[in-house]
Amino acid sequence: MYNEVDAALEIQDYSTAIRLLKPLLKSDPDNPWVQYYAACIHEVRGKKGYALKCYRQLLPRTTHPKLMKQLRQGITRLEALEQQHRAARLEKALAAPDGMQSGVLILKPIATEQKQVAAQRFAKIFKLDAYTARLQLPSRGWRLYRTGKLGELRLYSQDLTKAQIPHFCASLGAIAASEVYNVNYFQFAQPQVTARCQNQQGQVGSIQFDWSEVSHRVAGRVPWLESVFTWDAKNQFQRKMQTQDYVHICDLHLPGRKAILRLCDRNYQFQQGISLSPEPTSPNRETVSQNWQKLNQFLDGHLPHIPIAQDFNLFAETAFGFQEVLGRIPSRLEIKRNEPNLWDAAFQLYSHLVLTNCK
């Protein structure tokens, strides 16, 4: 019976092969040859992914030389077809109008109870072992996972969508399309908000908007690094950059205008503009930290239901694995540093991703 099935498959008489195989699937379903023939039928019927999975599972479970050879041939054949199919998809994706633009692939957090199944699917997409895949799926905050051509990243996005793994792709080129205004102070809060600010060209002016235009707040802090001299393990004098303080930042998003209003505790002129507190205290008598707290309370009062994205530091830890990409992103943070700091670019990227990918 097995030889007859094999002969029918050899001459591509699949109807005969199926007829002969049916009783074998009932009488001897665990036989490796029966399972191999069944996988062959799935392959010719177009279920190539399922057939490849069967071939791979059968190979380590058999010692028969002929069957091992045929399984390896089947795996090689279907893997070659997979590569050809993916190459065709990639060529089409890159040919899209923005397919060659630089982009990023972001993984969103996934619940712990869903990680085991998700890791298996993730491992298959990125050719990883299940343990490594599980470690790379974030539980909290966004993870910058991959950079590259936007067309290629969209292929991964399609696979991740099918695998039900939360994620999104974004174009780095779109960052330049968003205007960032560094706010000096708020002049008025009602009926419209008026903010005295500086645009990206360094021009100072005012911008008016309604509180209802604000879609998100993005809160974060970046380290303030200064050069210090210390003694190393060999008792030698050395110079290194060390965190001396933190700069607090808050972005207000105006998606209708493709604009970001950026507030920074180093730049906001607390002694100017409207009073941030009902108490008649002077901003000059309070610390920057106290004034910054009042500014945030002021925003809380006017934007009580607006989402606050505040997982920047978790995101930044993953972004620093792509320093070349961060080095090409203008920070738009108007603070004077002695040396460039990638934290500023990481915050700009994070805020832009919130602006363009959070609804």
Instruction: For 156-181, write each residue's pLDDT tens digit.
Output: 999 999 999 999 999 988 877 789 99
Report residue 99 as tokens: 């397919």
pLDDT for the residue 135: 93
Q: Which of 56, 43, 50 is nearest to 17 (CA)?
A: 43
For residues 263 and 185, the answer to whether their CB atoms sit within 8 Å is: no
Over the chain, what HEC string results? CHHHHHHHHHCCCHHHHHHHHHHHHHHCCCCHHHHHHHHHHHHHCCCHHHHHHHHHHHHHHCCCHHHHHHHHHHHHHHHHHHHHHHHHHHHHHHCCCCCCCEEEEEECCCCHHHHHHHHHHHHHHHCCCHHHHHHHCCCCCCEEEEEEEHHHHHHHHHHHHHCCCCEEEEECHHHHHCEEEEEEEEEECCCCEEEEEECCCCCEEEEEECHHHCCCEEEEEEEEEEEEEEECCCCCEEEEEEEEEEEEEEEEEEHHHCEEEEEECCCCCCCCCCCCCCCCCCHHHCCHHHHHHHHHHHHHHHCCCCCEECCHHHHHHHHHHHHHHHCCCCCCCCCCCCCCCHHHHHHHHHHHHHHHHCC
Q: Which of 49, 43, 47 is nearest to 14 (CA)?
A: 43
Q: What dihedral angle (degrees, nearest 10) is formed by the CA atoms of 62, 63, 65, 69?
A: 40
C-alpha–C-alpha distance, residues 35 and 62, integer Å: 11
Residue 262 vs residues 36, 179, 249: alpha-carbon distances, Å: 63, 10, 7
Q: Parallel, antiparallel, or unpaired for β 143-149 and 179-188? A: unpaired
pLDDT for the residue 278: 64
Query: Which domains can be identified in the chain, with CATH numbers?
Result: 2-93 (1.25.40.10), 102-171 (3.30.1390.10), 178-357 (no CATH)
pLDDT for the residue 126: 93
Q: What is the pLDDT of residues 33-42, one digit of tens each?
A: 888 888 888 8
Q: Which of 248, 240, 236 is nearest to 296 (CA)?
A: 248
What are the residues facing 204 on neighbouring strands? 198
C-alpha–C-alpha distance, residues 260 and 248, integer Å: 16
- Please identify every stretch of the chain with a pLDDT value under 50, giving residue numbers as ranges: none
pLDDT for the residue 181: 94
Query: Does the reported pTM lie above 0.85?
Result: no
For residues 137 and 165, the answer to whether their CB atoms sit within 8 Å is: yes
C-alpha–C-alpha distance, residues 22 and 4, integer Å: 13
Q: Which of 17, 242, 304, 150 is nearest to 8 (CA)?
A: 17
